[in-house]
Structure formats: C-alpha cells, structure tokens
C-alpha cells in the first residue's frame, strides 16, 4: 500500500444519509457508503467512523429558535448520531464488514459504551468502529469529536467526506470563481475562516499534529479513492 495512511477516522455528515425526497435515511446511500468502507478495509486501511446527526436534528439550530436550551438540544443531537451509527453498522455488517457502534453517551442495552482501549483493540483486529454520541457533552460539534477520537485512537489522519471535492476559497456551488486549495496549514484554515470544520476542531488537530483530508462523499468508491490518492482532495496539515 503506497499511501502514508493506515488508520483513518472518516467523518460523515448526517445529511449524507438523506434520501432525495428529504427522508432522513436512504437505504441506497447507506449501502453505497458501506460498500465504499468495505473496499477501504479490503485495501488494508483500519477505519473508524464518526457520523453526524444533522439529517435528523441540529442542536444549535433548534436552540437558536429559542424554545429549547442548547444543552438539551445538543443531547437530542447526540441521540440522532446514535440512530445514524446503528443504521451504518447494520449496512456495514450486511456488506461483510465486522462493525461495532460505540457511544460516548452510555446506553448499554442499545450499543457498547465508548472506551479507548476496547476501540483500539477492535481497530487492530480489522473491525470498523462507528463512534456515536459526539464527545458525550453539549456545545461540541461532531467535527471536534472526530478530531478528538482520531487523536485518542492514534489515527494517521481524519478524512472529512463532504459535499465537495476539497476546501475552496468560497462556496463553489454559488461562486464559479472559487479556488480549490490543494494544501493548507491548520493556521491558514483558521485565519481564512474556511468553515469546513469548526475552529475548535482545527485547533485540536493543530495541537495533535493531525492531518485533515477533505474530499467528496459522492463519487463512487470515494473514501478509498481519496485515501489512495486517486480522487481530488485538500490536505490540511501542520
């Protein structure tokens, strides 16, 4: 394997799971994502996953509406990530990949509670670990959770699979003059307010000297292709 990466944490947005008609979960999308992750594991990558919950609920947005406090709204968002993670675990198992959901929010009758040493053991055995529940605390995004877990689990990089094929100077969907960056430093990403990840996530990645790769989740075999350098992406590195 020519890639410098072996153990990868893949961050998926909850919106990536949505059906074209707006329903919160699309079985075809789940099947395609599971097949992509299966290909990555077959290529020799050890994979952990952090999944957002924005297809079901966004705590910050609900709190901003003014009728529920932020801590409660974020707790609801954590539960949404567990729902998505269980769905993805099921799809991975159906694709022939051994996967375990581990939640930072303890719910032992539903899934295993996250602990670092068991998660490291599962990864070393080639199992995919689906990390649910964010950090287990309100006021932290799943981006921050992804970087935190990647640092804890000694991952070589975080792959943020998004709607676009890298980091741009502006939204390429609305600005045809937007420029895609091939490589950035963490400091540059923060200074330019490039909101691919929140500032706390970038700052933690910088402190941990952890690379962040940004690429599109939509292309066929996108995760594997990005990790092997066959698909466009942006690298944010020290």
What pLDDT, on the 0 to 100 scale, is given for residue 3?
Answer: 63
- 97-112 average pLDDT score: 98
CATH number of the domain that residue 206 is part of: 3.40.1160.10
Residue 227 lies in a domain: yes
Residue 114 lies in a domain: yes
Q: How many domains does the chain have?
A: 1
Residue 199 lies in a domain: yes
Residue 179 lies in a domain: yes
Instruction: Report pLDDT digits (tens) over 151-203.
Output: 999 999 999 998 888 999 888 888 989 989 999 999 998 888 887 888 899 99
Residue 2 lies in a domain: no
Instruction: Report pLDDT digits (tens) over 194-234.
Output: 878 888 999 999 999 999 999 998 776 689 999 998 898 99
Can you give the residue range of the structural domain that contains 145?
7-237
Instruction: Report pLDDT digits (tens) over 34-88.
Output: 999 999 999 999 999 999 999 998 777 777 777 889 999 999 999 999 999 999 9
Distance CA 117, CA 206 (A): 24
Q: Is 116 helix (H, G, I), strand (E, B) or coil?
A: helix
Residue 202 lies in a domain: yes
Going by C-beta distance under 8 Å and a sequence separation of 6 or more, which residues neighbour residue 66? none
Q: Is 110 helix (H, G, I), strand (E, B) or coil?
A: coil
Residue 222 lies in a domain: yes
Please check the confidence at residue 123 and state whether its pLDDT lies above 50. yes
């Amino acid at each position: 394997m020519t890639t410098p990466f072996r153990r990868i944490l893949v961050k998926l947005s909850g919106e990536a799971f949505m059906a074209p008609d707006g329903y919160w979960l699309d079985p075809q999308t789940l099947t395609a994502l599971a097949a992509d992750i299966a290909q990555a594991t077959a290529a020799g990558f050890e994979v952990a996953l952090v999944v957002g919950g924005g297809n079901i609920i966004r705590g910050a947005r609900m709190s901003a509406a003014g009728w529920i406090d932020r801590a409660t709204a974020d707790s609801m968002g954590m539960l949404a990530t567990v729902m998505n993670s269980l769905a993805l675990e099921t799809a991975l198992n159906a694709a022939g990949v051994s996967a375990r959901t581990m939640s930072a929010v303890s719910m032992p009758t539903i899934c295993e509670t996250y602990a670092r040493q068991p998660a490291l053991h599962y990864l070393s055995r080639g199992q995919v670990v689906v990390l649910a529940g964010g950090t287990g605390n309100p006021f932290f995004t799943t981006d921050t959770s992804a970087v935190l877990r990647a640092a804890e689990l000694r991952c070589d990089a975080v792959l943020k699979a998004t709607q676009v094929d890298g980091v741009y100077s502006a939204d390429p969907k609305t600005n045809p003059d937007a420029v895609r960056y091939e490589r950035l430093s963490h400091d540059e990403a923060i200074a330019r307010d490039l909101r691919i990840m929140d500032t706390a996530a970038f700052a933690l990645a910088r402190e941990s000297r952890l690379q962040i790769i940004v690429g599109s989740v939509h292309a066929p075999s996108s995760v594997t292709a990005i990790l092997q350098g066959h698909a466009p992406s942006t690298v944010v590195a020290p």
